[in-house]
A = this chain, B = another copy of it.
């Protein structure tokens, strides 16, 4: 790929443009708001000028509601050899494109894609050429998609150092509903229970509810857009959750019964749900997207002086131990906390001994 046109220079578009430009691709930038395109150009993402002839790849990174129109316009004007979009939902844009009456030869030049990357900030100033590094980037070719176009998309993904994943468009939409949209709404539902809770109860919050509700802090406007583009699969999944939820409530009510058999049924019902949760949780990919691996945790008590974390990590480094993950659990109302260091099982005793020798309080 030698030339590209990025239409829509927000976070995703500008990040892709930066990655392409870094590989020597001549990138043209366009945006509904010329100021945005100018900013992206100033960041080194390309030049904010229309290309004179067709480019190799047109990347449409417009907001979801404008994607199909922007694609159709670019395709009719023949701006590129291949076209792709990066919207977070894939069935809708394709169907809209088809409804816009583009002919089959043009549609074969289009491939829907979705890089699984993002961040809280938006706009070109938040962009970065390494935004996609190591992230899955879904490609949804159809049987009609031209192989040259698929290869252009794969080249973009490779330049962005993302990991290509090929899926059917509707399977993609169900997958993101499962791993992202449904959990997001459920997190909001749990958090919503705290809205009018008594202060004394809220004080008892620990790390568990903190983790479950973290993503409920996201911007509602952005999520209304995301959910509006994928309501069907999300509603289907939430209905399945609702059915399990009803069963769980029934099991808990049975636990209140004075009848032994009913209580046993309640125990079984709750136990089944917890074990199904275990079975699902273990499938969540851990580090490096590899198969789940069992790690051990070494817990260190710290007070909250600057530099304590640095010393712990330095001491771990001296001992030759690689920290896989770290979690800081702050104590309530005190300048103290626990640092949980996740390491490979064989490294746990090494780390424990090394930290003890250097005077750290380890919770065995």
Residues of A within 8 A of B (CB): 116, 119-120, 125-126, 128, 130-131, 133-136, 138, 161, 163, 165, 167, 171, 174-176, 178-180, 182-195, 197-198, 200-206, 208-218, 220-221, 223-224, 227-228, 231-232, 234-235, 237-242, 244-246, 248-249, 252-253, 255-256, 266-267, 270-271, 273-290, 297, 299, 301, 304, 306-307, 309-310, 312-314, 316-317, 320-326, 328, 330-337, 361, 363-364
Question: Does the CB pair B273–A188 fall under 8 Å?
Answer: yes
Question: Does the CB pair A279–B163 fall under 8 Å?
Answer: no
Question: Does the CB pair B195–A279 fall under 8 Å?
Answer: yes
Q: How many copies does the complex hold?
A: 2
Given A206-B180, A281-B213, also A332-B135 (CB < 8 A): yes
Question: Does the CB pair B322–A273 fall under 8 Å?
Answer: no
A309 to B290, CA, bound (A): 21
Question: Does the CB pair B274–A220 fall under 8 Å?
Answer: yes
Question: Does the CB pair A213–B163 fall under 8 Å?
Answer: no
The prevalent SS among residues of A at the interface is helix
CB-CB < 8 A to A234: which residues of B? Answer: 252
A320 to B179, CA, bound (A): 39
Shortest CB distance A317–B (Å): 4
Given A283-B195, A285-B332, A361-B130, also A227-B252 (CB < 8 A): yes
CB-CB < 8 A to A167: which residues of B? Answer: 200
Question: Does the CB pair B205–A285 fall under 8 Å?
Answer: yes
Question: Does the CB pair B190–A333 fall under 8 Å?
Answer: no
The contact of A228 among B231, B255, B278, by CB within 8 Å, is: B255
CB-CB < 8 A to A182: which residues of B? Answer: 190, 193
A15 to B322, CA, bound (A): 30
Given A289-B203, A334-B163, also A313-B309 (CB < 8 A): yes
